[in-house]
Amino acid sequence: MEIAAASTVSVAPQPSRLSNAFPRKLGSVSSLPCASFKRKHCSGNATLCVSSSSSMDAVVTAEKISPASFLDKRETGGILHFVKYQGLGNDFILVDNRDSSEPKITQEQAAKLCDRNFGVGADGVIFAMPGVNGTDYTMRIFNSDGSEPEMCGNGVRCFARFIAELEDLQGKTGTLCLFTIHTGAGLIVPEIQDDGQVKVDMGIPILKAQDVPTKLPGNKGEAVIQAELVVDGVSWNVTCVSMGNPHCVTFGTKGGPKLKVDDLNLPEIGPKFEHHEMFPARTNTEFVEVLSRSHLKMRVWERGAGATLACGTGACALVVAAVLEGRANRKCTVDLRADRWR
């Protein structure tokens, strides 16, 4: 027995910007036991049908999916149950792990599951685990490369919706905070709105260089604000912010023209920031274009996940950086994607 087959995944209309951090549910993949995994694309690009029905065109069978073969070894029922959620296109595989403080799959297995061609495809895998220190739940997440970040803004919003559905809290939510979540970056208390969307207070940003962490020397006290970072021989201005996880925010090169984020070669430049020696824990990088003092546009290269369509901690980090650099007001809208970046 291999991976569970699923019914359907419906793709909801995509909003073009993140305003006040509300999530969109992409759809859910309900896992059903079956002996093989068959997939068929339905009409248009809005629906993907995955079915165990033999009448469907099988493009792959479970026996041939070595990355998925671990799925029958780790769970008693022989199947890893999961759902798929997204926040503004930042997508995650969510696993109900409430019965154990050990993730049901390893980091290597998570990376295989996140593969968009040979796995389910996602920016990360999130585990809903028992709470610690008096919290109701613990969220752990593995990036699509298998590394474990401390925090994920869109992920924690998806997590909150997942818990609400698991615990049947839908319709009882209002703006009440019904549960607390322990994360690698501290306590999160999500607010589930009447319409099911989730709002999260991301807490106080960390600016002290060694806590971000960055090896760049503090130039405003211990903070690194609009400092020079040489990447591949080019001097960029960067501000370093941790939202529990590290972010390097840039509005462009030193003395260069205003950054036009649409023109960036993200797959080329992104990894050079991520693996720069000045970031001992690697870094997420936000490339930002200022449209006005209250309207910013970003593209993100995520640590451990590459180019993603959105990043909640990144959106928060760049507003912090924009305010510190005097480029924007404290309240602004961040466009995370005008269309698909990749």
Q: Which residues are catalytic?
A: 152, 311
E strands of the chain, at which residues? Answer: 5-6, 8-10, 31-32, 38-41, 47-51, 83-87, 90-96, 124-130, 137-143, 181-183, 186-188, 191-192, 198-199, 227-231, 234-242, 246-253, 284-292, 295-302, 306-308, 333-335
Query: Considering only 20-28, 52-60, 93-101, 297-305, which stretch makes contact with ligand LBFN2T5F by CB under 6 A?
Result: 297-305
Query: Considering only 53-61, 264-272, 289-297, 305-313, which stretch makes contact with ligand LBFN2T5F by CB under 6 A?
Result: 305-313
Positive or negative torsion for Cα 151, 153, 154, 158 = positive
Closest distance to ligand LBFN2T5F from the beta carbon of 314 (Å): 6
Q: How far apart are CA 176 and CA 149, in angstroms?
A: 28
Q: Does 250 bind ligand LBFN2T5F (CB under 6 A)?
A: no
Q: How far apart are CA 157 and CA 192, in angstroms?
A: 9
Q: How far is CA 177 from the centre of its chain?
A: 22
CA 311, 315, 320, 321: dihedral to nearest 10 degrees?
80
Options 274, 286, 302, 335; binder of ligand LBFN2T5F; rule CB under 6 A? 302
Q: Does 155 bind ligand LBFN2T5F (CB under 6 A)?
A: yes
Q: What are phi and psi of 134, to 5 degrees?
A: 85, 0
Upper half-sphere CA count for residue 201 (Cβ side, 13 Å): 10
Options 5, 94, 95, 152; binder of ligand LBFN2T5F; rule CB under 6 A? 152
Options 138, 173, 245, 250; binder of ligand LBFN2T5F; rule CB under 6 A? 245
Closest distance to ligand LBFN2T5F from the beta carbon of 123 (Å): 6
- Segments in the chain forming alpha helices (H): 71-74, 107-114, 153-166, 266-274, 312-324
Question: ∠ at Cα 80 (180, 105), nearest 5°?
Answer: 70
Query: Considering only 10-18, 64-72, 251-259, 301-309, which stretch makes contact with ligand LBFN2T5F by CB under 6 A?
Result: 301-309
Stretch 104-143: interaction string toward ligand LBFN2T5F, x if CB under 6 A: ---------------------------------------x
Q: Does 336 bind ligand LBFN2T5F (CB under 6 A)?
A: no
Token pair recorded at residue 53: 């029905």
Q: Does 285 bind ligand LBFN2T5F (CB under 6 A)?
A: no
Options 86, 138, 154, 197; binder of ligand LBFN2T5F; rule CB under 6 A? 154
Q: Does 337 bind ligand LBFN2T5F (CB under 6 A)?
A: no
Number of residues that bind ligand LBFN2T5F (CB under 6 A): 18
Q: How far apart are CA 336 and CA 153, in angstroms?
A: 13
In the complex with ligand LBFN2T5F, the residue whose CB is nearer, 90 or 138, is: 90
**What's the start-to-end Cα distance of the chain, in Å?**
34
Options 27, 153, 190, 205; binder of ligand LBFN2T5F; rule CB under 6 A? 153
Closest distance to ligand LBFN2T5F from the beta carbon of 111 (Å): 13
Q: How far apart are CA 152 and CA 158, in angstroms?
A: 10
Closest distance to ligand LBFN2T5F from the beta carbon of 92 (Å): 9
Given a contact cutoff of 8 angstroms between Cβ atoms, the answer to whether 199 and 193 are in contact is yes
Binding site for ligand LBFN2T5F (CB under 6 A): 90, 143, 149, 152-155, 245, 284, 302-305, 308, 311-314
